[in-house]
């Protein structure tokens, strides 16, 4: 598969748009990302704290239609704690944190009902 991709990138005369994403660029084979092979790159460093809080609320609202105040407060506290010593935090990390808070809240609710 790698050989086919490299051939397409280098030898094919067709107009092809490749979109590649990675979380670990250092692990990519050097022949894939050598000079002249990729026209443009975009780097996403993650979200600043204010952006992360809005993103977390969007994710929370996708998990729960009307999240209780304590769940919302817990999500905001968890996101804020992620920025201790960090300027940026990834979308994936924020999503995982929101998911963990929602899961804990659902488990707590289920245990109260039992």
**98 is written with which tokens?**
């929101």
- The answer to whether residue 11 scores a pLDDT higher than 90 is no
Average pLDDT rounded to a whole number, residues 56-74:
94
Predicted confidence band at 1 (pLDDT cuts at 50, 70, 90)?
Answer: low
Handedness of CA 96, 102, 106, 108 (dihedral sign): positive
What global pTM score does this model have? 0.66
pLDDT for residue 81: 96
At 21 the pLDDT is 81
Integer-rounded Cα Rg, in Å, for the chain is: 21
71 pLDDT tier (thresholds 50, 70, 90): very high
Distances (CA, A) of 19 to 5, 16, 40, 77: 12, 10, 10, 35
């Amino acid at each position: 598969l790698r050989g086919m991709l490299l051939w397409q990138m280098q030898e094919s005369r067709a107009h092809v748009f490749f979109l590649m994403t990675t979380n670990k660029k250092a692990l990519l084979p050097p022949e894939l990302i050598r000079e002249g092979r990729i026209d443009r790159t975009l780097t996403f460093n993650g979200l600043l704290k204010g952006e992360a809080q809005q993103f977390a609320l969007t994710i929370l609202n996708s998990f729960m239609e009307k999240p209780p105040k304590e769940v919302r407060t817990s999500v905001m506290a968890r996101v804020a704690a992620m920025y201790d010593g960090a300027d940026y935090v990834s979308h994936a990390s924020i999503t995982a944190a929101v998911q963990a808070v929602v899961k804990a809240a659902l488990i707590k609710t289920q245990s109260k009902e039992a």
